[in-house]
Amino acid sequence: MSHKPNEGVKAAAVIFDSDLVKLLNSDDIRIPTNFVGVRRVRPHKLLEEKRNSNTVRNENTVFTVKVANGIGRRMTKQEKKKEKQKMKQKQKEDRKRHRQEQMDSPTSIPSNLKTPSIYSSTTNSRYFQVALNNTALEQELAELRGERNGLPPVLLSPAMAIHAETILWPSSGSGHIEHKLQFTYDHEMSKKWAELLKETMRPAEATREKDNKIRPMPYQLTPEPWTRLRQNMGQQKLESNRDAQHFSSRWDLMPSKCKSTRMICRQPTETDLIASLVFEYLFMESKYYVSCGAKFGCDFLIYDGPREERHAFAGLRILKAKEGQLPIQSAFSLSGFVRCLNTAGKFALLATVVRDEKCENPLYRLAFVDIALEKVLTAPTHKKRARTQKRRDVAKNLAKL
């Protein structure tokens, strides 16, 4: 990883150890990781042939037929269809004949790979034994033993790295800050924030309704405290740097402890702390899997099961509160965020953290708001389709087939 356990985690981490990557994706830690970089996958030869077979003609092919007087005319729809079938069948026969010719022809082996010829034990024919590539042989044996999993490096955001360190190295006692932090979910603050967001959107909605040149709005945004598909998450006070000794045994059973190198790209910010508290709350108070949400323009994607089996049901964007005031975004920004996630079959969540200075010990209050996208049933678009369901049922299509 990109940090040392005894120095505390305040930055992102890159993990190269395959066993550690598997452990992070387990039911205990629940961090679906993101691979670093893009690996090019070469298509199989037969797959390439199949793809090419779908094209039965090139750009120069002209579908014409000559009539009795020698003048050509364009084929009818039925004639063109029959001609395409003939061309496709001919391509299929050509590929079959080409493969048969390759099988019947003697295999030519490069001279640098040839070894002394050997008599076959079952026939009188002679054959050449190709020299073995030691590297390829070692990789194949490692695959059979399960030692090489082909997993590329993965990247953890600062919030995920803080969470992973707390579980994997609980005995280090470093944590992500010098002392434990208290935080809790505040439903009343979430309700107040939802009402404030709705008030800021009213001027934009009123302006849109007055414009007769634009069709009536088919949808409207309805901010409310997060309740949809939400597991039983209470409002009790929680502490960061929790005791996670029961996870340490799993790490001790790992084949080898990974080495680490620390590289400082930037100094930690308050945003990292806020994101880590939100991430830790979701982990402690639910069984959700939380991964990076950059693909959908948010901070986190939330799953109700392993990512290999389930689609994310929500995208979470974290907003930073300024001077204890609840953050506000423009109606344009919110609508774009919600429509993007709704198109992908997810609903949009907002989260923020406000520090309560009134308490004797600093207490961080978390608020979650669900920006629901509802149909305006009186709009002409929905009247034609006669669909009366206001909200999209996200829970229907979460299972990966």
Which are the contacts of 183, defined by CB distance < 8 A and separation ≥ 6? Answer: 237, 238, 239, 240, 277, 280, 281, 353, 363, 364, 365, 366
Q: Which residue has the higher pLDDT, 198 or 399?
A: 198
What is the rounded average pLDDT of the residues 7-18? Answer: 67
Q: What is the DSSP letter of 123?
A: S
CB 44 within 8 A of CB 83: no
Provide the pLDDT for residue 58: 61
Provide the pLDDT for residue 401: 67
- Tell me: pLDDT of 346 over 70: yes
Q: Quickly state the pLDDT bin for 354 (edges 50, 70, 90).
A: very high
Overall pTM surpassing 0.75 (yes/no) = no
Provide the pLDDT for residue 316: 96
> CA–CA separation, 174 vs 375, rounded Å?
49
- Tell me: pLDDT of 221 over 50: yes
- Tell me: pLDDT of 113 over 70: no
Provide the pLDDT for residue 19: 76
- Tell me: pLDDT of 253 over 50: no
- Top mean pLDDT of 61-65, 159-163, 211-215, 236-240 is at 159-163
Q: Which residue has the higher pLDDT, 52 or 82?
A: 82
pLDDT single digits (tens) 79-111: 888 988 999 899 889 988 888 887 777 655 556
Quick one: what percent of the chain has pLDDT higher than 70?
A: 66
What is the rounded average pLDDT of the residues 42-61? Answer: 57
Q: Which residue has the higher pLDDT, 154 or 45?
A: 154
Provide the pLDDT for residue 357: 79
Q: Which residue has the higher pLDDT, 106 or 182?
A: 182
> CA–CA separation, 366 vs 187, rounded Å?
9
Provide the pLDDT for residue 44: 52
Q: Where in the chain are the domains?
A: 175-397
Least-confidence region, from 31-35, 135-139, 257-261, 332-336: 257-261
What is the rounded average pLDDT of the residues 332-339? Answer: 91
DSSP string over 74-101: EPPHHHHHHHHHHHHHHHHHHHHHHHHH
> CA–CA separation, 13 vs 10, rounded Å?
9
Per the prediction, the chain carries an average pLDDT of 76
- Tell me: pLDDT of 236 over 80: no
How would CATH label the architecture of 175-397?
3-Layer(aba) Sandwich (3.40)
> CA–CA separation, 12 vs 2, rounded Å?
7
Residue type, 323: E
Task: Quote the tokens at residue 308.
Answer: 């290999």
> CA–CA separation, 74 vs 295, rounded Å?
49
Report which of 340, 369, 329 is spatially closest to residue 352, judged by C-alpha positions: 369
- The CA R_g of the chain, rounded to the nearest whole Å, is 31
- Tell me: pLDDT of 184 over 70: yes
Task: Quote the tokens at residue 90.
Answer: 């001919």
Taking each helix axis as running N to C, give the angle between helix 331-343 and helix 187-210, from 0 to 180 degrees, rounded to the nearest 10: 100
Q: Quickly state the pLDDT bin for 186 (edges 50, 70, 90).
A: very high
CB 238 within 8 A of CB 181: no
By CB atoms closer than 10 A (0-12, 13-18, 19+), residue 83 is middle
Q: Quickly state the pLDDT bin for 9 (edges 50, 70, 90).
A: very low
Q: What is the DSSP letter of 25?
A: T
What is the rounded average pLDDT of the residues 238-248? Answer: 49
